[in-house]
Structure 1
Amino acid sequence: MAFFKNQFANVVEWEEFRDDMIFWKWSNREIKKGSKLIIRPGQDAIFLYNGKIEGIFKDEGDYNIESEIIPFLSTLKGFKFGFNSGIRIEVLFVNTKEFTVKWGTKNAINIPTPGMPGGMPIRANGTFQFKVNDYVALIDKIAGVKSSYFVDDVKIRITAILDQLLMRWISKEGKDMFNLQANAHEIAKGIKDDLDMEVIDDGLTITGFTIMSFNYPKEIQDMINKNASFGMVGDMKKYQQVSILDGMSSGKTSGGGAASDVAGMMMGMNMAKEMIKNMEGDEKDGAKSVEQTPPPTDTAKKVNFCPNCGEKNTGTKFCPNCGYKLA
């Protein structure tokens, strides 16, 4: 008969463990004499009886339920489990690690922006981290009705409200729409706090939230890149001038057909006006410089030879030969 002594004994362990599983419930089975509990690294085991927590075990290892677990529970709760016919109990295994989830906006978020009636369409992506921090709330809100819970379940809930939070924190305090990355840390911190308040009642906590990048429409990104390459951020007049030069040098202008030709002609006329204006400015500057130059003064002419006797003059006022007055 010894062979059948523990034939009904159970091994209480996380049987369907997955890295993306937040908790898994061992339930609707009887614990018999000789049963044992196995807790692996990164797991906590919560004993539930009639929906109430009887004990939480966090140390990894193998435990004999009859000799090691039940005596502890009886001491803790003053409740005595009987093993005459076994007892039905639930054990909730919780993954204690911090989960990291990648997120990204499925559709562009139209952020209200002055001068753009439809708003600035922006996409964003990054990561967030969360973990279980309150077993009572987790059981009351989720584990009480679910046998397992996955990271994707949390991700779906988070991404459902993420667009609204991004719009709120990007629009707050007039952020620079063309340089959102500079404010990414501040925006992420605000979103993290709001998300934490959203999931805290479920026994979860958001431990981190990061925005990796903001993505603009191609036309806007091209403008930002060109501004950066020419060192002209904020100088729209200079950007327009460079755009005109680029368009004329490449033979391309926006639009097509007659509209394109008219646009090109107007660009040329504007450039001609600017050139004339610059030339007039140069002429005025030249005139000023001429006026300011003193006229050359006449100097007395020097006679080289005496007109009376032909004697060579050495620069004196009278001829040294005949005494003729030279000047």
Structure 2
Amino acid sequence: MGLFGKQLANVVEWEEYRDDIIFWKWTNREIKKGSRLIIRPGQDAIFMYNGVIEGIFKEEGSFDIESDIIPFLSTLKGFKFGFNSGMRAEVLFVNTKEFTVKWGTKNPISIPTQSAATPGGMPIRAFGTFTFKVDDYVALIDKIAGVKQIYKVDDVKERVVAVLDQLLMKWISKEGKDMFNLQANAYEIANGIKEDLDMQICKLGLTITDFMISSFSYPEEIQKMQTKAASQSMVGDMNKYSQMAMADSLEKGGGRSNIAGDMMSMQMGMAIGQQMMNNMNQANTASGMPQAGTAQTGNGPKFCPECGTPVNGAKFCPNCGKKLIG
């Protein structure tokens, strides 16, 4: 009875599960008779003996190792627990979910350009996300799990970021991308980077499932130039701009000093001035005087040759009625 008392059954499980851990290894313990294996949702359990995969178990639940697990192991299917002996094996718990990682360039990447103004290249930063998951258990164990107890998302991120600058430079420079409109080509650039990254990361038993570029960032001087160019392009069509400004002013309400109000005031002033000019011309036409804004025509005298009265180019003298022109 004392012998059985010393042989305490244990539970083989991932005791401290975390979302940022890719795998965790249960090791350096002896599996006793009556022990159980617990597999939680989103986990796979890989039994290893002497560094070799004995069996992979993906169904979640609680299992008796002697009756439910050992019969399915490759070389240990005939293992029998003794009174004082247990089974020494390692169990690798793998997180099967898809991991999402944010990335960003640590320093600006100098992209070569043809412009003499930037002989050292255009310094550009980029930001985005990528997703990956475990794809090949054999490669994972061979390259990483064989020597590591635990493997984190940050370990993968470090590997990706180490080669990301080179890949960004490669795909941005490819086929002469427009340096000032990289966002328009972000999808194509991201797809090229995804393929190259997947070729490198697959050696570790992982696969890149998606790679996205959220934005490109230019130097402050370039951003100011882009903002100014956009503003000038909009102001170039004054008619459209004034209509948009007036609509914006009406939407926000009156009584505010803004561009829309100034544009409306200017247009109203021009309309009033034009109306006043038209009224003056109509009055002058009725009185026989020249219209405002028009030059006098003809070579009539300034004074009546008969009585000397100033006539200012009129056809008849207003004093004696003498015909002066025609």
The answer as to whether partners of 1:6 and 1:34 remain within 8 angstroms in 2 is no
Q: CA deviation at 1:230?
A: 2.4
How far the C-alpha of 1:4 sits from its partner, in A, is 5.3
Q: Matched residue pairs, number?
A: 234
Q: How does 1:179-198 map to 2 (within 5 A)?
A: 179-198=181-200
Matches within 5 A, 1:29-48: 29-48=29-48
- Structure 1: distance between partners of 2:34 and 2:17: 23
Q: Is residue 125 of structure 1 aligned with residue 127 of structure 2?
A: yes
Alpha-carbon distance in structure 1 between the residues aligned to 2:168 and 2:72? 49
Within a 5 Å distance, the mapping from 1:169-248 to structure 2 comes to: 169-231=171-233
| 1:142 aligned onto 2:140 | no
Gaps of at least 5 residues in structure 1 are: 236-295, 297-327
Deviations 1:184-240 (A, max 9, x none): 0000000000000011111000000000000000110111122222228xx9xxxxx
Contact 2:7 2:32 in 1 (8 A): no
- Give 2:251's aligned residue: none
Q: TM-score by structure 1 length?
A: 0.68
SS at match of 1:41: coil
- SS at 1:118's partner residue? coil
Correspondence for 1:157 among 153, 156, 159: 159
Give how far 1:78 is off. Answer: 7.0
SS in 2 for 1:81: coil
Aligned residue in 1 for 2:80:
82
- Aligned mates of 1:43, 1:57 — CA distance in 2: 9
1:64 has 2:37 as partner = no
Q: CA deviation at 1:150?
A: 0.2
- Shift of residue 6, structure 1, vs aligned partner: 7.8
Gaps of 5+ in 2: 237-296, 298-326
- Cα deviation, 1:84-142, whole Å, max 9, x if unaligned, reads 11110000000000000000011000000111201000001000000000000000000
**2: CA distance between counterparts of 1:176 and 1:124?**
15
CA RMSD after TM alignment: 2.1
In the TM superposition, residue 82 of structure 1 has moved relative to its aligned partner by 2.4
Aligned to 2:264: none
User: Hey, what does 2:95 align to over in structure 1?
Assistant: 95
Q: Counterpart of 1:94 in structure 2: which amino acid?
A: V
**2:97 counterpart SS class:** coil
| 2:8 corresponding residue in structure 1 | 8
Decide whether the 8 Å contact of 2:70 with 2:77 is kept in 1: no
Equivalents in 2 of 1:125, 1:6: separation in Å? 57
Deviation at 1:28, TM superposition (A): 1.4
Q: Is the 8 A contact 1:6 1:33 kept in 2?
A: no
Cα distance change on mapping 1:71 and 1:6 into 2, 3 Å: farther
**How far is 1:17 from its partner?**
1.6
How far off its partner does 1:3 sit? 11
SS class of match (1:117): coil
* Cross-structure match for 1:19: 19
The CA deviation at 1:29 is 1.1
Local SS of the residue matching 1:213: strand
Q: Are 1:16 and 1:24, in contact at CA under 8 Å, matched by a contact in 2?
A: no
Once residues 89 and 80 of structure 1 are traced to their aligned partners in structure 2, the CA distance between those partners, rounded to angstroms, is 14
